Amino acid sequence: MENIVIGIEGDVASGKTTICKELINIIPNSIFIDAGSIYRGIMQALKQCNNKNLPNDPYELMKKLQVEFKIENRATTIYIAGNKIPDEEIHSVSNAEKVSKFARNVNNENLYKFAREIIKSFKEYNIIISGRGLQYIYPEMTTHIFIKCDLEERVSRRYNQYGQKYSKDEIRKTIIERDQLHEQSGFNKQGKNTIIVDVTNYKTASEAANHILTLI
């Protein structure tokens, strides 16, 4: 039987990554591809780079900065110059805001092509993929889920996630700005078969993941 490809997009800080990780624990022979981590890896590498003579194309930039995308333990891992980057660094608040602005202002087609090739290279698996612009990256998705969540619920969850390292006002400001950037950039494109799932009232990602499975 042909594998399935489930695309997960949605509001900023709505729990997409956590839901994806729950889904691969439920769906047999599945892996999680975090397409957004490619951009995050590039931004992380730029922090460590003093070279001003860098290409504008994000795919060429990825190669120049030695950003590698690997699947380990059924999930995405980012390496920079051979060094594994911890998830907490990749998904930091400061990194996330820079990623949204960066992705809006570059030609993403080569990076979309790279993501498509990743999906095709793992065709023996059921694939859960999250990221922006999935309708552009892989319109042949079996199912496209768009996650919605109330703003204040997202602020509260992110506040707890970061161990109260940032104030709720800081987090709210970042989320609103990123929501606006994604909307203006057309990243939140939905298709006629997109399924919208509101996770505001779910207490756990496991509950949300199990509900999503009933819709596939």
Residue 182 belongs to domain with CATH number: 3.40.50.300
Tokens 């990749």 belong to residue? 90
The pLDDT tens digits along the chain (216 residues) read 578 999 999 999 999 999 999 999 999 999 999 988 888 888 888 877 766 677 878 888 888 889 898 899 999 899 999 999 988 788 776 666 677 677 777 777 888 888 898 898 898 999 999 988 899 899 999 999 999 999 999 999 999 988 778 899 999 999 999 898 888 877 777 888 899 999 999 999 999 999 999 998
In a domain, 41, yes or no: no
Question: Shortest CA distance to 108 belongs to which of 60, 63, 146?
Answer: 60
Q: Which of 44, 47, 95 is nearest to 69 (CA)?
A: 44
Tokens representing residue 139 in the block: 């319109």
Residue 76 zone, left/alpha/beta (φ > 0; ψ -120 to 50; rest): beta
Domains identified in the chain, total number: 1
Residue 204, domain member (yes or no): yes
In whole angstroms, give the CA distance from residue 147 to residue 139.
18
Provide the domain limits for residue 203.
Answer: 5-35+93-215
Residue 74 lies in a domain: no
pTM of the model: 0.86
Residue 21 belongs to a domain: yes
In a domain, 79, yes or no: no
For residue 168, tell me if it sits in a domain: yes
